[in-house]
């Protein structure tokens, strides 16, 4: 396992992060324990969680598992998703953040959260309020670093500006969706991350299983996230995704590589990515994902795989700049 710096924090994390969304739901405590051990044996020191995964059970299980190695692992958890029936048990408000962090610390059996992530953008909460509350948690030592997931580039940039102007702890890591069929992050989010030295942990590297080799146009298995979760069916409903997946799986088979390993390696090979987030229901599924740690993807291979899908357009639609990388330099000379 190789390790990368998490943005400019100076913290080294494994280049593969394990996501615990299945803990306490698809994976019971025994299976979760086995997957955690499998990750640790492979050198993974980075674990992603959320306070709403399995209604808090994922945090509880992860808390038990890290008890004997707390200082050797970097853990994340998230806030802002609904976590109860109370009308205010949602959002990145000061009230909800302050209540949620205490609950997460208790379930995780720890005195600090390494990376505390705002899960979703909330247009009803002032960004200044969210950032001030998070800054207070950093000063209290309950949170070490801050992150954000599912925000647009302009929202992240605005938050960084507010933090800079008001001398608040800033976001050090972002968590966008990124895979071969969902490449929108390449347009502005990943360039922003590189420019501002933000860590990037990308979720859904297998596109909810679309790139695993189990799916093809018109064929959907009876089990798995796409079969069981409505949000994944909606997220990956476009027929083109399955056409891309079919081409990708054929490429992987010709190469003699498990599609799971190759899909994760493709995400990992993007220089802006700190670590893809692996997801699994059991140790058998996890093995192919962890194999990405040792897989060497050449630049030629990455380019060939990238050409199997649709590259998103430029942020400004000035295609001449995309087609001619020397455009700006030529016009300044």
Amino acid 214: pLDDT: 86
Amino acid 161: pLDDT: 98
Q: Which two tokens stand for residue 68?
A: 């004997």
Residue 310 lies inside a defined structural domain of this protein: no
Dihedral, CA of residue 273, residue 225, residue 59 and residue 25, to nearest 10: -160
Q: Which two tokens stand for residue 109?
A: 């059996």
Q: Which two tokens stand for residue 161?
A: 């500006």
Residue 58 lies inside a defined structural domain of this protein: yes
Report which DSSP code applies to 216: B
Residue 324 lies inside a defined structural domain of this protein: no
Q: Could you tell me the pLDDT band of residue 95, with boundaries at 50, 70 and 90?
A: very high
CA distances to 117, 148, 152, 234 from 100, rounded to whole Å, are 12, 16, 24, 29
Q: Rounded to an integer, what distance in angstroms lies between the CA atom of residue 326 and that of residue 234?
A: 40
pLDDT digits (tens, 9 = 90+) for 118-132: 999 999 999 999 999
CA 228 remoteness from chain centre: 21
203 carries an active-site annotation = no
Assessment of whether the complete model's pTM goes beyond 0.85: yes
Amino acid 143: pLDDT: 98
Query: How confident is the model over 16-33, as a mean pLDDT?
Result: 97
Report which DSSP code applies to 208: G
pLDDT digits (tens, 9 = 90+) for 243-285: 999 999 999 999 999 999 999 999 999 999 999 999 999 999 9
Residue indicated by tokens 């079919």:
246
Bridge partners (DSSP) of residue 146 are 116, 171
DSSP string, 111-134: S-EEEEEE-S--TTS-HHHHHHHH
Residue 8 lies inside a defined structural domain of this protein: yes
Residue 94 lies inside a defined structural domain of this protein: yes
pLDDT digits (tens, 9 = 90+) for 82-94: 999 999 999 999 9
Q: Which domain holds residue 179?
A: 3-209+258-296
Q: Rounded to an integer, what distance in angstroms lies between the CA atom of residue 310 and that of residue 244?
A: 8
The CATH number of residue 27's host domain is 3.20.20.100
pLDDT digits (tens, 9 = 90+) for 170-227: 999 999 999 999 999 999 999 999 999 999 999 999 999 999 998 766 666 666 666 6
Residue 191 lies inside a defined structural domain of this protein: yes
DSSP string, 129-187: HHHHHHHHHHHHTSEEEEEEES--HHHHHHHHHHHHHHT-PPEEEEE-B--SS--GGGT
Average pLDDT over the chain reads 93
H or E element in which residue 77 lies: strand 74-79
Dihedral, CA of residue 236, residue 242, residue 243 and residue 245, to nearest 10: 110
Q: Are 101 and 141 a contacting pair, CB within 8 Å?
A: no
How many CA within 13 A on the CB side of residue 103?
A: 18
Q: Rounded to an integer, what distance in angstroms lies between the CA atom of residue 245 and that of residue 180?
A: 8
CB atoms within 10 A of CB 37: 12
Residue 214 lies inside a defined structural domain of this protein: no
Q: Rounded to an integer, what distance in angstroms lies between the CA atom of residue 129 and that of residue 126?
A: 5
Query: Total structural domains in the chain?
Result: 1
Q: Could you tell me the pLDDT band of residue 67, with boundaries at 50, 70 and 90?
A: very high
Residue 289 lies inside a defined structural domain of this protein: yes
Choosing from 53, 145, 236, 241, the catalytic residue is 53
């Amino acid at each position: 396992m190789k390790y990368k710096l998490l943005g400019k924090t100076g913290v080294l994390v494994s280049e593969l992060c394990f996501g615990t969304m299945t803990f306490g739901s698809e994976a019971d405590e025994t299976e979760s324990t086995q997957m955690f051990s499998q990750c640790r044996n492979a050198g993974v020191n980075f674990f992603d969680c959320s306070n709403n995964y399995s209604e808090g059970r994922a945090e509880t299980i992860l808390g038990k598992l890290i008890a004997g190695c707390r200082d050797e692992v970097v853990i994340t958890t998230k806030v802002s998703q609904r976590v109860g029936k109370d009308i205010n048990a949602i959002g990145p408000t000061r009230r909800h953040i302050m209540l949620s962090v205490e609950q997460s610390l208790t379930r995780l059996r720890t005195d600090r959260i390494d990376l505390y992530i705002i899960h979703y953008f909330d247009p009803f909460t002032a960004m200044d309020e969210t950032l001030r509350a998070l800054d207070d948690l950093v000063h209290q030592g309950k949170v070490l670093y801050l992150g954000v997931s599912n925000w647009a580039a302009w929202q992240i940039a605005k938050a960084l500006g507010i933090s800079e102007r008001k001398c608040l702890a800033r976001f050090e890591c972002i968590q966008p969706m990124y895979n071969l069929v969902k490449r929108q992050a390449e347009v502005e989010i990943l360039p922003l991350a590189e420019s501002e030295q933000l860590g990037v942990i990308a979720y859904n590297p297998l596109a909810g299983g679309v790139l695993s080799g189990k799916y093809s146009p018109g064929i959907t298995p009876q089990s798995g996230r796409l079969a069981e979760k409505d949000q994944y069916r909606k997220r990956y409903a476009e027929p083109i995704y399955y056409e891309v997946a079919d081409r990708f799986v054929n490429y992987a088979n010709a190469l003699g590589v498990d599609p799971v390993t190759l899909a994760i390696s493709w995400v990992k090979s993007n220089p802006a990515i700190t670590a893809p987030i692996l997801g699994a229901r059991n140790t058998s599924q996890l093995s192919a994902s962890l194999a990405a740690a040792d897989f060497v993807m050449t630049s030629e291979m990455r380019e060939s795989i990238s050409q199997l899908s649709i590259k998103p357009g430029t942020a400004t639609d000035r295609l001449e700049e995309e087609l001619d990388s020397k455009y700006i330099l030529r016009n300044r000379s």
